[in-house]
Structure 1
Amino acid sequence: MSRTLSLVTLGVTDLARSRDFYARTGWKVASCSNEHIVFLHGGGATLALFPRDALLEDCGLTGNAPTPGGVTLACNVASRDEVDARLAQVVEAGGRLIAPARDKPWGYGGYFADPDGHPWEVAHVPSLTLDVEGRIILDA
């Protein structure tokens, strides 16, 4: 199996609301998006928004089957100030602050939830190198 992460799909309850939220926070909506799915440019991977019920059906997760969960998404940034600015931006756009940014053993970061409750971390990790697009460079 390829170890390339190319797409992350979030199950959402209101596709138009989620599209608007992510667009307001700076994500660029791809032209191939339509009324059934929204694709967002995400640097190294694409973020997709898809109606939650349709996603569960597509996965075969119906009835008493477990639902996806236990995952957080993260946006790593170049500075502490950028963490604070990004968290303020998503809250202004309709996101909910889950955990304010604070010092951590590995750096500085905080969490927000999108309109469907998907948890995102915004973090500055001094030991990680980022390229000009904000992608993590491992083993640089």
Structure 2
Amino acid sequence: MTSSDEGAPRVPARISIITLGVADLAASTAFYQALGWRRSTASTPEIAWFRTADSALGLVPSEQLAADAGIPAGGEPAFRGVTLAVNLESPRAVDEAFAVAVAAGAGVVKPPAATDWGGYGGYFEDPDGHLWELAHNPSFAFTADGRLDLP
């Protein structure tokens, strides 16, 4: 199927929600709030919701998330093969955001530095080991409301 297949069924190219399984919902919620993220009033005792520029982030106890997907819980590897990224407007913005994450309790995985592809970035992990990249890519632009504007 190509993009020229008018009327053909498709999966829309958008990511609406990212849900992370967490060991301690209260602690993980506090971590993301310490980053400066506002907890949504749509949150319940079972899930904490945060609105981001382009999507929503949900935090759910790992056992509940596994049950919802119909898979066994536990046994998360140290590296899950996934990173989440926040792209920022400048190297300075990366450094400032990284300092906020560390002050909130993030584990430093790779401090921000110039990259071999001409950008700038670093990695931290949240309390459950989910990897986040904070990066500046000089080739990426942003819309007026702060969303990444890829060509």
TM-score by length of 2: 0.86
Offset of residue 62 of structure 1: 1.2
Offset of residue 66 of structure 1: 8.5
Select 1:96's aligned residue among 107, 122, 127: 107
Q: Which segments of 5 or more consecutive residues in structure 2 lack a partner in the other structure?
A: 1-10
| Range with bigger deviation, 92-101 or 67-76 | 67-76
Select 2:147's aligned residue among 122, 125, 135: 135
Deviation per residue, 1:56-81 (Å, 9 max, x gap) = 11111117998893110000000100
Distance 1:84 1:90 in 2: 10
Select 2:56's aligned residue among 41, 46, 54: 46
Q: Is the CA contact (8 Å cut-off) linking 2:98 and 2:134 kept in structure 1?
A: yes
Deviation per residue, 1:69-95 (Å, 9 max, x gap) = 311000000010010111110110111
Q: Which one has the largest radius of gyration?
A: 2
1:80 pairs with 2:59: no
TM-score by length of 1: 0.93
Q: Which segments of 5 or more consecutive residues in structure 1 lack a partner in the other structure?
A: none
Offset of residue 2 of structure 1: 1.8
Poorly superposed stretches of 4+, deviation over 2 Å: 63-69
Higher strand share: 1
Aligned to 2:33: 23
Offset of residue 134 of structure 1: 2.6
**How large is the RMSD of aligned CA atoms in angstroms?**
1.9
Q: Is the CA contact (8 Å cut-off) linking 1:76 and 1:134 kept in structure 2?
A: no
